[in-house]
Each structure stands twice: as C-alpha cells, then as structure tokens.
Amino acid sequence: MTVDAHAFWLRAPGEGEIRPVRLDPPGPGEVLVRTRFSGVSRGTETLVFTGRVPADQYATMRAPHQEGDFPAPVKYGYLNVGTVEAGPAELRGRTVFCLYPHQSAYVVPAEAVVVVPDGVPAERAVLAGTVETAVNALWDAAPLVGDRVTVIGGGMVGCGVAALLARFPGVRVELVDADPARAGVADALGVDFALPTDATGDRDLVVHASASADGLQRGLDLLRPEGTVLELSWYGDRPVTLALGGAFHSRRLGIRSSQVGTVSPRRADRGYADRLALALDLLADPAFDALLTGRSRFTDLPDVLDRLASGRLPALCHLITYGEE
C-alpha cells in the first residue's frame, strides 16, 4: 500500500511550495520514516533558496537525498528526525536522524538512518548535521590544550564549534559576532563574547564562520605570529577580498579550509557514520538547546524560508514541526 506524504520544493529561486508525494512501501533493507522535526540550516539553505549556489559547485553542494537540480526546481535539506514506522524489527519505533530534506515521510535504505541516543531529545537531534560539521572542523584544526581560540560568526556552525571548544581542557574560547544578542547564546554555551572591534588578539587559532570578507580579515588580524584561520564559511557566488600585504607574510599567517563533505584526513581511521554517531552522542549536552531559536509548522515553511533569507526572521536553527508536535 502506498503512503501519502508532502515535501517542500524550491519551485524557482525565492519561491517555495509544498507538494504531495506518493511513497511505495519499504522493500527489504529499507525503512519508512515519519518525520517529527526538521531543521533549517540557515546559511546554506538560504543560499539555495535564493538561487546563489555557483554553477561550478552544483555537484559538490548536492545533499544526500536531494531531488532535482540547482538552481531549481529542487528538494533540498539535510536535518531530519523521525520515527521508523516500517522496516527491520530492530529499528521499528526508534527515533532516527537522517540527512533527508523537509518531507513529512520518506523511504530510505536502513543504513541511511542513525538511531538517536536515548539521552538526546528529538528536537535537539536535528542539530546532528551541524555538530557533525563542527566535529570535522576541530579534527581539521586539532586545537591543543591551553590554546587561545576565537570563533568569528555566531551562526549555527560557529556556535556548534564554540560549544565543543568550551569542553576542551584549558582552552579559552571567545565568540565574536556583530550582533550583541549573541552574547546570551555565548553565555549559554559557556564561552566569552565580544563584538568585532573588542575582540581579543594574539590568538593561536581563529575559526571563521561569518561568511563575510570583513569577518575573515578580522580573523587574520587577531592571530599571533604563525597562527591559523580555519575557514568554515560558504560564500556561494560572492567574491571575497582580503588585505594580504606585509603583516600576512611577515607574521607567517595561515588560512585553511574545512568542509563537511569529506572526513578530515587527520582522522583517516573514522568514516562518515562514525562522525555522525559521535555528533549525536555529543548532543546529550543540553547547552546545544541554545542553538534552537524558533519553531514553525511544516505548512508554513515556504514563508519561513522567505523570511529567513531576507533577514526578517532572525534565527540560528529554526525548527520545523510535523503533526501535533
């Protein structure tokens, strides 16, 4: 028997809609998942929503269960938590995370879902993709005990990195953002806060996640000699201009990129499943609830993404609810 569901599609840049979907029953080795929550990854998904994915990055930016192609029509998203309604006995009734778009129900191979640990609320589990990015970034950065670290950009990824760094022994973390309201989030995460003009210098490591040239330049300015900026921002089709004159060379500063599409080569002993499972385990910490800054019904998602993209709706991770939750 087929199952009726609904999915969010980007019909054209800046225009979203909810479409009906007919699902075939799961076959051997597959699961039927009924979505409880999905999360809007504000930075990446608003770039997709506004049609600003560069043409040479279409393949790189594909989500694991994406349908359609950039710029549109496309079904996109990757923060989904639901309940397994049908499939292998050991998964039926379990709450699972999947890198699936915003859709009320879906069928995927059983290996595409990861069971959410009992100590992690379903709402918080939507952050698994974000925390996975933060884990990979810190595998790339490899901070040392006692390092002085600044995170520039208090969005989902920046706050996720700051939350993990706050648990490193002896590491003093400062979150830098142009929005003074992010001070409350920093406090909830257990890290210091500063506006860009007041940020502390002489840093061993700067993790940049503001997606702005000014933020990246400020990160370079804050480094000690031979320090490194780890670049996590995704700029889409926007050019980035930096002042790489005397100080950059004389102080032997470094810029290194990191992105979640590849497991850090520093952890060649771990795979994608290991990284995602670790992210879900880390989400047992209630401090991550500070990253969930609003909720809306699934039927309102086209309007929600429009408001997020325009800045009329401020958010870190905006939670999308399904059914009665």
274 domain-assigned: no
pTM: 0.92
Residues 105 and 216 both lie in one domain? no
Q: Residue range 146-157: average pLDDT?
A: 96
Residue 149 dihedral angles phi and psi, to the nearest 5°: -125, 135
Tokens, residue 102: 């915003």
Residues 306 and 240 both lie in one domain? no
Domain that includes residue 28, residue range: 3-119+284-321
What residue spans of the chain are helical by DSSP H?
42-49, 122-125, 128-141, 156-165, 182-189, 213-222, 246-250, 272-282, 301-310
CATH number at 59 reads 3.90.180.10
Per-residue model confidence (pLDDT) at position 105: 98
pLDDT digits (tens, 9 = 90+) for 49-107: 999 999 998 998 899 999 999 999 999 999 999 999 999 999 999 999 999 999 999 99
Tokens, residue 251: 């102080």
Residues 153 and 246 both lie in one domain? yes
In this predicted structure, the answer to whether residue 324 has a pLDDT above a threshold of 80 is no
- Choose among 117, 85, 130: nearest CA to 260: 130
The 3-state secondary structure of 218-283 reads HHHHHEEEEEEEEECCCCCCCCCCCCCCHHHHHCCCEEEECCCCCCCHHHCCCCHHHHHHHHHHHC
CATH number at 172 reads 3.40.50.720
Residues 136 and 115 both lie in one domain? no
Per-residue model confidence (pLDDT) at position 151: 98
